[in-house]
Amino acid sequence: MPPYTITYFAVRGRCSAAKIMLADQSQQWTDIVVNFEDWMKGDLKATCVFGQLPKFEDGDLALFQSNAILRHLGRNHGAYGKGAKEASLIDMMNDGVEDLRLKYGRLIYQEYETGKDQYLKDLPDHLSKFEAVMARNKTGFLVGDKVSFADYNLFDILLNHLVLSDCCLDSFPSLKSFVGKMSARPKIKAYTDSDEYKKQPINGNGKQ
Ligand code: GTS
């Protein structure tokens, strides 16, 4: 039995970064896929701490909140920096990814038809912050010289943005190189090439 279980809807959504991380760290997990009709019955929702998925189980530990899940995996698999300072910087960068993910989610779920042009105009300003950190660090990772959970999270949200606009990284050489190198990591490539990954839509409303 794999040690981890992930309960979520049939989308990549907020689980994709964790799954990419698990694949890259040679970990296995069991997926429990919840369909919307079952979710609407409310029984599972009532058991979720914040009434939402994803739910992540590591043995008898049940976790909610996708970023708490990433942090847990960072601790379990040595992807949380070397020492307290790096860990704090990784937290900071992951919070920056969360800010971008929230903006992306607002576009996808609330403003896709009316807000896409403006979103793409504003995007370089957001990406430039990550570009600066990545360029300054020079290791190909956000913090330190080893991949962290924040890198997997950034990688995942950048993949979503490349679907939104395939040229969005053209002015950001460090981010473009980061995505190229992360995509080429053999276990990530095997996972993102898999039917399991490809068959799932990025978002629940089919917009991307
Ligand atoms: N902050 C939470 C996290 O990061 O895990 C947000 C979780 C969340 O928004 N879950 C949505 C949900 O459960 C699904 S998704 O947005 O991740 O696709 N929605 C159903 C509901 O009843 O709220």
Mutation pick for ligand 1 pocket among 15, 45, 52 (CB with most ligand atoms within 8 Å): 52
Give per-residue pLDDT as tens, 71-130. Answer: 999 999 999 999 999 999 999 999 999 999 999 999 999 999 999 999 999 999 999 999
Q: Is the CB of 55 under 6 A from ligand 1?
A: no
Domains in the chain, ordered, with CATH? 4-79+191-198 (3.40.30.10), 83-185 (1.20.1050.10)
3-state secondary structure at position 5: strand
The two three-digit tokens of residue 69, written as one number: 């899940």
Give per-residue pLDDT as tens, 160-186. Answer: 999 999 999 999 999 999 999 999 999
Residues 71/152, Cβ–Cβ less than 8 Å: no
Q: Is the CB of 204 under 6 A from ligand 1?
A: yes
In the block, tokens 């979520």 appear at 8
Residues 168/127, Cβ–Cβ less than 8 Å: yes
Q: Is the pLDDT of residue 131 over 70?
A: yes
Q: Is the CB of 53 under 6 A from ligand 1?
A: yes
Residues 39/175, Cβ–Cβ less than 8 Å: no
DSSP letter at 107 equals: I
Q: Is the pLDDT of residue 19 over 70?
A: yes
Residue type at position 152:
Y
Distance from residue 144's CA to the centre of ligand 1 (Å): 31
Q: What radius of gyration do the chain's Cα atoms show? A: 17
Nearest-atom number in ligand 1 for the CA of 45 is: 22
